[in-house]
């Protein structure tokens, strides 16, 4: 037989369009839940999808490895390519770049749609994969890749497709939200909160991808791509994690009615271009951020996720829920599976359609924001006026200032004082220059913290 | 010309599928915003929809009436039927039952898809309209009918289509949420908070539909239909408004760390059927409800809306945003317009697909809930024990009791006391019988309030 003969045609072209063969690649925490749902809920799923969803097989790397004993042994295979070739719809849950990437390309090239939760792969190769899917009238769905169970990809791509999204603020990493929430609630230091998160299974043994913000950055790139209809790559995202956040930062925030969250921020910004013309562009960043305690995102506790969206007409929206875990993530995967099946049954081509334009990516210098700046200074008269003069020089307006003095006689020159400023919105450039000049003042012992403030 | 010749074919069948003619029926607060967006954002919309969305006309009842001066005069017509006949896609924003119903039927019968925000019509005739749309491969979209700008219909229908939703709790009426929030914040009486809401334009001159819960009930029926994939009609919804909520109820709730919200509640419940067999069914109701202040819905302030969804795999999700207003509602309408246009361009038939099964609607007796019960009693020894005995008789367990005594000498028999109980979850039937028996006790002066508690 030739290769063409061994490849079954997609269900829409087969004699019986009422059965769709689903290939599952990977069977970890999420994969085993997806398999369970496909097997247990098949009647309800068939009614909603308009076709029976037949689990054609589960590809795993090693057939001898320990596996979910609840799932029928005969479903497992180590031949992922053959499984993909036999399927109408492929669910990729292997994670990592290869072989996930090659298998997804193999699937879409034969017209099979793919559902994946692989944010690392999408952040690296998303545009190329989307393009290949579109070229083959296949579809690449990835609701599970951002904020687990929370429906956010579909609302942005479809519900808000007639609006203009101007900003997205997301708590999209449960590990760091758990750590910051613990620090806020118990006053713990970062290292202790991280250890507790590791003990409870919220953080991995090597927590780098979470605490350094890399996981959030991949999701920020995806959210920005969809929100602004323009390609945004991982390297376009400016990223700072939470390892530098101290118990003192948290306590000072609390004193001011603020809370620190690691936010993925995607903004449409306007920058002065050449010859005074204005350029619209996207700015995408991940960093610890101060938020007022009344902000809807401030109430997102523990390992929960939430995405706050500002759109020109819709105004402020928030989407809240579980950001990870086998069952919540499987719910998102299955939503994509059923929606894809409906489309295939209807005979419509897939359309991933993420980028309809190409906006410039603007550096953080183009952004205006507020800063909270903490300084340690000697407790001498005249220090505040010297510091305030630097703000004024750079045109940065101070919204609030708090002084805390350690020592018995204020102004005696013997103790030290802590000054904490919150500025009004100013350009990142002016703020960065202000901080640099303050550092160089002889009356300033040290700059103890610089944090951006949103939602004020 | 015969009628057939005058009817243009839907765009997917025309020579140039890249233009879709959009008919707008109605030009009030929402309609004028939809027209503005179609005209102003046409390039971006065309890129996202895959077709130019041409505003073919705006049907109004009276051409001489005052209208939006920003919109070109020549777009207006009083011949809605001719406009519908010329369109590929119809946006119905007239409100009310007729002529909206006939025009929607006219559109779908010729294969044109319809986008509407008309919750009154859908609550009354939804199933018949959906069926007619499906029969004609047209689609009837209605994201704007529930919770304004908040994407909730699409997430329930698509993102959660592979999950099993077990419960929906919604703050879906901004007027009543504003009133209750004012009462909670300022201690105002219902009548004063209502007057303030009317002054600010949050409540209409005749506030009946809002404060009696009828508006929320229509939305509850729609949410239940979608969440449980079964037809739910307006008359299936048990409905109680907020006119009976007193400043004392609010204050007592505050004392106990609770807040009162008007919730639309749709639940999957299991009731003992005939011969001891269990029946699964849906229970749908609207009533003032006590919620713990830590519950995500408790933080929904002012006229904002939010829908809290519990699903078997996804866990708890919440969708938050503006529930009304011209621009937010127009955002939801336009999301449906662009999504519909994409589908039409792809040549796929519409599929409204709301009910895939027929669950029994169960009365509130089938529900288990907690009650908060307030009693006025003479301040005599032994009263509490008599009341507690009634709870015990009906097998209802008391979670908390608070007593407040007015008068100088507790237990003297001269003052009055207020008792407030919160029960554990029990069946509505047992709770109702408990309250009836307590009312008949000679030691009880009056039952001052009975409120259901959720989220504990």
Report CB contact under 8 Å: A313, B154. no
Q: What is the tens place of the pLDDT at every residue in A221-273?
A: 999 999 999 989 899 999 999 999 999 999 999 988 999 999 999 999 987 76
Q: Per mean pLDDT, which range of A81-90, A370-379, B81-90, B168-177 is the poorest? A: A370-379
Chain A residues lying within 8 Å of B318, measured CB to CB: 318-321
Percent of chain B with pLDDT over 90: 69
Residue-level pLDDT at B376: 92
Q: Is the pLDDT of residue B411 over 80?
A: no
Output b/e per residue, B118-131; b: 16+ Cβ within 10 A.
bbbbbbbbbeebbb
Question: CA of B382 to nearest chain A CA: how many angstroms apart?
Answer: 43
Q: Which long-range contacts (CB under 8 A, 24 or more apart) does A187-194 make?
A: A187/A247, A187/A250, A187/A251, A188/A247, A189/A246, A189/A247, A190/A242, A190/A243, A190/A245, A190/A246, A190/A247
DSSP three-state, residue B230? coil
Q: Tell me, what's the pLDDT at B343?
A: 87
Check whether A428 has a pLDDT greater than 90: no
Q: Which one-letter DSSP state was computed for residue B295? A: S
Dihedral, B444, B449, B450, B453 alpha carbons, nearest 10: -130
How many Cβ atoms sit within 10 Å of the Cβ of residue A385? Answer: 9
pLDDT 10s digits, A155-212: 999 899 999 999 999 999 999 999 999 999 999 999 999 999 999 988 989 999 999 9
Contact between chains at B162 and A37 (C-beta distance less than 8 A): yes
Determine, for residues B356 and A164 on separate chains, whether the beta-carbon distance falls below 8 Å: no
Q: pLDDT for B274-306, tens place per residue?
A: 677 788 899 999 999 999 998 999 989 999 999
Residue B347: what pLDDT? 80
Grade residue B256 by pLDDT with cuts at 50, 70 and 90: confident
Go through the domains of chain A in sequence order and give each one's CATH number: 12-146+328-346 (3.40.50.720), 153-324 (3.30.360.10), 367-453 (3.30.70.260)
Contacts of A349 in chain B (CB under 8 A): 346
Determine the distance in angstroms separating the CA of A262 from the nearest CA of chain B, rounded to an integer.
Answer: 20
- Segment B71-94 shows an average pLDDT of 95
Q: What is the pLDDT of residues B217-255, one digit of tens each?
A: 999 999 999 999 998 989 999 999 999 999 999 999 998
Residues of A in contact with B162 (CB under 8 A): 37, 41, 45, 48, 331, 333-338
Which residues are CB-neighbours of A98 under 8 A, at least 6 positions away?
A: none
Q: Say yes or no to pLDDT of B6 above 70.
A: no
pLDDT (0 to 100) of residue B9? 42
* Chain B residues inside the 8 Å CB shell of A229: 44, 47-48
Provide the ipTM: 0.88
CB contact (8 A) between residue A314 and residue B334: no
Q: What is the pLDDT of residues B361-370, one digit of tens each?
A: 988 878 888 9
pLDDT greater than 60 at residue A380:
yes
Specify the 3-state DSSP secondary structure of B433: helix
Task: Give B412's pLDDT tier (boundaries 50, 70, 90).
Answer: low
Query: Residue A246 to residues A189, A448, A451, B288: CA-CA distances in angstroms?
Result: 6, 10, 11, 43
In this structure, what are the phi and psi dihedrals at residue B92, rounded to the nearest 5 degrees? Answer: -100, 115
- The pLDDT of residue A10: 46
How many H helices and E strands in chain B? 15, 17
Mean per-residue pLDDT, A121-148: 90
Min distance B17 CA to chain A CA atoms (Å)? 15
Run of H or E residues at A371: strand A368-378
Which three-class secondary structure state does DSSP give residue B411? coil
**Confidence at residue A170, expressed as pLDDT on a 0 to 100 scale:** 97
Question: Residue B451's CB: how many other CB atoms inside 10 A?
Answer: 22
d(CA A50, CA B347): 18
Q: E strands within A122-205?
A: 140-141, 165-171
Under a CB-based contact definition with an 8 Å cutoff, are residues B455 and B291 in contact?
A: yes
Which of A77, A66, A63 lies closest to A55, judged by CA?
A: A77
Do A314 and B322 count as a contact with CB atoms less than 8 A apart? yes
What's the pLDDT band for B380 if we cut at 50, 70, 90? confident
* Separation of alpha carbons A253 and B224, rounded Å: 42
Give the lowest-confidence range in B116-125, B175-184, B357-366: B357-366
Q: In sequence order, which residues have a C-beta less than 8 Å from that of residue A135 and are 6 or more positions away?
A: none
Q: How many CB atoms lie within 10 A of CB A302?
A: 12
Q: What is the mean pLDDT of residues A129-152?
A: 92
């Amino acid at each position: 037989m030739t290769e063409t003969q061994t490849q079954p045609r997609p269900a829409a072209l087969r004699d019986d369009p009422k059965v769709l063969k689903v290939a599952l690649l990977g069977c970890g925490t999420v994969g085993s839940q997806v398999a369970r749902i496909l097997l247990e809920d098949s009647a309800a799923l068939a009614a909603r999808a308009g076709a029976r969803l037949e689990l054609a097989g589960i590809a795993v790397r090693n057939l001898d490895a320990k596996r979910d004993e609840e799932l029928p042994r005969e479903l497992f295979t180590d031949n992922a390519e053959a499984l993909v070739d036999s399927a109408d719809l492929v669910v990729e849950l292997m994670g990592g770049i290869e072989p996930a990437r090659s298998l997804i390309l193999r699937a879409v090239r034969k017209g099979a749609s793919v559902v994946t939760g692989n944010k690392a792969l999408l952040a690296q190769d998303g545009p190329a994969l989307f393009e290949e899917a579109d070229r083959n009238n296949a579809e690449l769905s990835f609701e599970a890749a951002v904020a687990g169970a929370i429906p956010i990809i579909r609302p942005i791509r479809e519900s808000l497709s007639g609006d203009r999204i101007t900003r997205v603020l997301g708590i999209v990493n449960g590990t760091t939200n758990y750590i910051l929430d613990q620090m806020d609630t118990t006053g713990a230091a970062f290292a202790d909160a991280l250890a507790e998160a590791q003990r409870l299974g919220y953080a991995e043994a090597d927590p780098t991808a979470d605490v350094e913000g890399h996981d959030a950055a991949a999701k920020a790139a995806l959210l920005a791509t969809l929100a602004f209809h323009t390609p945004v790559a991982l390297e376009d995202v400016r990223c700072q994690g939470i390892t530098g956040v101290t118990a003192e930062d948290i306590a000072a925030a609390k004193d001011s009615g603020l809370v620190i969250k690691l936010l993925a921020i995607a903004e449409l910004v306007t920058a002065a271009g050449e010859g005074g013309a204005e350029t619209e562009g996207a700015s995408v960043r991940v960093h610890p951020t101060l938020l007022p305690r009344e902000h809807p995102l401030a109430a997102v506790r523990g390992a929960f996720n939430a995405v706050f969206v500002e759109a020109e007409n819709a105004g402020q929206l928030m989407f809240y829920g579980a950001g990870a875990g086998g069952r919540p993530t499987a719910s998102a995967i299955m939503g994509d599976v059923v929606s894809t099946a409906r489309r295939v049954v209807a005979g419509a081509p897939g359309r991933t359609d993420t980028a309809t334009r190409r906006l410039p990516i603007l550096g953080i210098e183009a952004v205006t924001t507020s800063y909270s700046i903490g300084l340690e200074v000697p407790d001498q008269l005249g220090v505040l006026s010297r510091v305030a003069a630097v703000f004024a020089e750079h045109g940065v307006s101070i919204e609030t200032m708090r002084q805390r003095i350690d020592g018995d006689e204020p102004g005696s020159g013997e103790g030290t004082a802590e000054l904490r400023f919150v500025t009004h919105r100013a350009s990142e450039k002016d703020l960065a220059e202000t901080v640099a000049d303050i550092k160089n003042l002889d009356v300033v012992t040290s700059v103890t913290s610089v944090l951006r403030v949103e939602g004020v």
